[in-house]
Amino acid sequence: MLNKEENIQYSRHILLDEIGVEGQEKLKSAKVLVIGAGGLGCPILQYLTAAGVGTIGIIDNDIVDQTNLQRQVLYTISDIGKSKARVASERLAALNPFVFFKVYEELLDNDNAVELFSAYDIIVDGSDNFPTRYLVNDACVLADKPLVFGSIFKFQGQVSVLNYKDGPTYRCLFPSPPSPGAVPNCSDIGVLGVLPGIIGSLQANEVIKMVTGIGEVLRGKLFYFDTLTMQQQVIAFKKNHDIEIDQLEEDYDFFCGISSYGFEEINAVELKKHIEDYQILDVRSFEEFNHFNIGGTHIPLESISDHIMELNGKKPIVVCCQSGIRSKRAIELIREKRNDLHLINLSNGLSAF
């Protein structure tokens, strides 16, 4: 039941015939897990909190970085270096004291996904990479939970509701992941700051519709939005009954072509301490390199195959890009022609600088 203060807090919802007291009580009873407290996660969390979803889980092992502030509006300059999940929960609690937050400052992985999802009614994916998206999808199928999917790319976004009432899953829409580097993330190519606010709000909207039983849910439909042209499309897709998910992939990085085997890595802190002991190979674009670099040799990834023989092995070579993904691809290409070089990947890329 709603108490007196909750009736005041949610009065504008309660005035809606489609929601009313009954719908608001359903929201209060709901348990929703949000994966990621970043660009998409911030608006998802804000609007689910404001709507009165009773229990909200937040899983994110990342910390606030200054580059986040252009779009991740839950955070301020004073939050830099702090846990996103922890800061988000504290700020959201100030917005709505009637919501219970469960914070998971950890990485979502094969060991915790299915068990964690089982404790919630709806899963909302605010992640920004393909291994996590496939893991989330498969874990939702195994835990029998609906999934609200969202993704952003520069100026464009997508939203869908998956695994809902025996509807299609993410694998029905995208059976195979794209090749590594084919769809770079926002740390590599940028993103319009308001875009995750739009897409994340739409994801929260789908959650509210499912919980209260109003409207038409995006089951078997992919909503596409372009901020530059304001064009919108809704693309219908069907469940592929030939796709069976009865267990998690052994390694989602490997499944998505981002090999997790055989990569020696160094983090930004260690590299800064001992940078004189290494050669630096930067494989980002010319624009990225000119904007910021830490020196060394610059060969864009698309040109690396033409310059492999020019590399020397006098010192170990730390290969870097913005996020640590393109650099892995560069290492794989170099290894095809050279086995005499000591190659090290900069984990999490130059964004860590």
DSSP 205-228: HHHHHHHHT-S---BTEEEEEETT
Q: How far apart are CA 116 and CA 104, in angstroms?
A: 10
What is the DSSP secondary-structure string of 254-289? HHTT---SS--EE-HHHHHHTGGGSEEEE-S-HHHH
Q: Extract the tokens encoding 126.
A: 């605010």
244, amino acid identity = E
Catalytic residues: 186, 321
If phi > 0 it is left, if psi is from -120 to 50 it is alpha, else beta; for residue 349 that is left
Residue with tokens 């899953």: 169
- 239 burial type by CB count under 10 A (0-12 exposed, 13-18 middle, 19+ buried): middle
How many whole angstroms separate alpha carbon 324 and alpha carbon 265?
A: 10
CA atoms of 97 and 49, how far apart (whole Å)? 9
The first and second tokens of residue 61, run together, are: 């092992």
SS3 state of residue 65: coil
Torsion of CA 44, 48, 49, 52, to 10 degrees: 180
What's the rounded Cα separation, in Å, for the pair 119 and 236? 30
Question: Cα separation of 47 and 204, whole Å?
Answer: 6
